[in-house]
């Protein structure tokens, strides 16, 4: 009996899809299953999910089609009204074993995600087609940024106890994974709901101490306002913690940051970058920035653009603002659609130029590269590197000899 997964959105969804693959395989019934794990961050992500559902029904008329993920959690009826769909599962229900055993459950099986208090480690052994493993440490979010629907889809912040994370990482390393990425919705709020309130830095240090066989640990998005002292210490002292931080910046202008209800201002972001560089000179930064947030003028946008150079951002993720139903920002005066697209293009161009400069600066340096697919992988600073004759999953120390387009060549 086959289980096919179509996953949209973030690393957390990727992790949960692997957990569902395992639950659905263990709970096997006679009917093949197609699971569409949706994302609600943009209107485009939802459109693509509906398209994938229609295609799945055409291609797999015999399969049970289950739709889950944030878009299904927030708007279950929207998917339930599609004739192609057999069941809609909420983000909590999708990780319950009983949802996959053929035990009859309602066609719309979605509970109020705000009532969910716990999040357990759903042990995953394997990531289909990946040499880097994602590990969920936290779920949900207690913040309410004005543009964001994620709390509506994932509920309030809940952390996986340290022991559960350690067990999960040990399992993946035993299965040959050499790099793990700690992921969640707002990982810098890790531990606020656990006894003793261990912060993210404490988790990182205990994990590296308890799993000495793990060669590389990477972190997903960090809120610059919530980096704790132990995480700074880990950055300075733990060579296995990769010198690559992805910051959830969102904008460069203080006025926009306030209207987004972010917890940091531009000067805080600058201070974070300076402190990180003083503790770990080889660190590189990525960041999420939204283009065209409501009320953003050309001058306010220029503050986001200039942030790329001021912080030396090299791995830039640009999001054209997408009004999401139920968010305060959707009710604010909107920037014209054309300007949103145009600003996103300018930000991407600035990001691409910074990335090229970063790659040029890597030539002549040595790097350790995790080989992910045939002959390609990423360095500790997350530069894409081509290495001939290397095995998938191998970590190899190389010398960067040249740049070829958006990749580096190594010997």
Report the interface residues with ligand SF4, using CB under 6 A.
Answer: 141, 143-145, 148, 150-151, 185-186
Closer to ligand SF4 by CB, 186 or 303: give it: 186
**In this complex, which beta carbon is closest to ligand SF4, that of residue 142 or of residue 392?**
142
Closest distance to ligand SF4 from the beta carbon of 74 (Å)? 13
> Would you say 13 or 87 has its CB closer to ligand SF4?
13
CA distances from 28 to 4, 102, 123 (A): 13, 8, 18
Least distance in angstroms from the C-beta of 172 to ligand SF4: 25
Smallest separation (angstroms) from ligand SF4 to the CB of 141 = 3
* 117 or 144: CB nearest ligand SF4: 144
Q: Would you say 18 or 186 has its CB closer to ligand SF4?
A: 186
CA pair distance 24, 122, nearest whole angstrom: 13
Q: Smallest gap, in angstroms, from Cβ of residue 328 to ligand SF4?
A: 11
Show the tokens assigned to 37. Answer: 């794990």
The residue to which tokens 């191998």 are assigned? 394
CB of 311 to ligand SF4, least distance (A): 19
Q: What does the DSSP 8-state code read for residue 101?
A: S
Least gap, CB of 364 to ligand SF4 (angstroms): 38
Nearer to ligand SF4 among residue 146 and residue 356 (C-beta): 146
Q: How many CB atoms lie within 10 A of CB 336?
A: 9
CB 46 within 8 A of CB 82: no
Contact call for residues 234 and 203 (beta carbons, < 8 A): no
* C-alpha torsion 152→168→127→148, nearest 10: 20
Smaller CB separation from ligand SF4, 185 or 335: 185
Please state, in angstroms and rounded to a whole number, the distance separating the CA atoms of residues 56 and 47: 14
Q: CA 71 to CA 402: how far, in whole Å?
A: 43
> In the bound complex, what is the minimum distance in angstroms from residue 47's beta carbon to ligand SF4?
21
Residue 394 to residue 397: CA distance in whole angstroms: 10
Look at the alpha carbons of 212, 233, 276, 287 in this order and tell me if their dihedral is positive or negative.
positive
- Give the whole-angstrom CA distance, residue 62 versus residue 66: 13
């Amino acid at each position: 009996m086959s289980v096919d997964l179509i996953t949209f959105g973030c690393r957390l969804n990727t992790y949960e899809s692997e957990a569902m693959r395992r639950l659905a395989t263990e709970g096997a019934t006679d009917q093949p299953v197609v699971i569409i794990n949706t994302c609600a961050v943009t209107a485009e992500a939802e459109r693509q999910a509906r398209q994938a559902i229609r295609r799945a029904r055409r291609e797999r008329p015999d399969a049970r089609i289950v739709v889950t993920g944030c878009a299904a959690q927030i708007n279950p009826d929207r998917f339930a009204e599609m004739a192609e769909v057999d069941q809609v599962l909420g983000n909590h229900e999708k990780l319950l074993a009983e949802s996959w055993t053929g035990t009859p459950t309602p066609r719309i099986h979605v509970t109020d995600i705000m009532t969910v208090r716990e999040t357990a480690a759903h042990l995953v052994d394997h990531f289909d087609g990946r040499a880097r493993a994602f590990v969920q440490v936290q779920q949900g979010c207690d913040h309410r940024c004005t543009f964001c629907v994620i709390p509506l889809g994932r509920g309030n912040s809940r952390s996986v106890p340290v022991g559960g994370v350690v067990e999960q990482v040990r399992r993946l390393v035993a299965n040959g994974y050499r790099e793990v990425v700690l992921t969640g919705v707002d990982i810098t709020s890790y531990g606020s709901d656990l006894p003793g309130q261990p912060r993210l830095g404490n988790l990182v240090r205990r994990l590296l101490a308890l799993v000495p066989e793990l060669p590389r640990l990477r972190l997903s998005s960090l809120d610059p306002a919530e980096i704790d002292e132990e995480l700074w210490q880990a950055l300075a002292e733990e060579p296995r913690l990769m010198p690559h931080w992805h910051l959830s910046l969102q904008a460069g202008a203080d006025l926009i940051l306030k209207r987004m209800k972010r917890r940091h201002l531009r000067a805080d972001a600058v201070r974070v970058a300076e402190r990180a560089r003083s503790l770990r000179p080889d660190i590189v930064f990525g960041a999420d920035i939204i283009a065209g947030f409501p009320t953003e003028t050309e001058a306010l946008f220029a503050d986001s653009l200039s942030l790329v150079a001021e912080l030396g951002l090299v791995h830039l993720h640009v999001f054209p603002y997408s009004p999401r139903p139920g968010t305060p920002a959707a009710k604010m005066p909107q920037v014209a659609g054309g300007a949103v697209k145009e600003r996103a293009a300018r930000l991407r161009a600035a990001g691409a130029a910074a990335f090229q400069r970063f790659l040029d600066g890597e030539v002549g340096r040595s790097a350790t590269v995790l080989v992910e697919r045939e002959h390609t992988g990423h360095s500790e600073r997350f530069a894409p590197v081509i290495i001939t004759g290397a095995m998938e999953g191998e970590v190899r120390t190389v010398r960067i000899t040249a740049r070829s387009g958006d990749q580096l060549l190594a010997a």
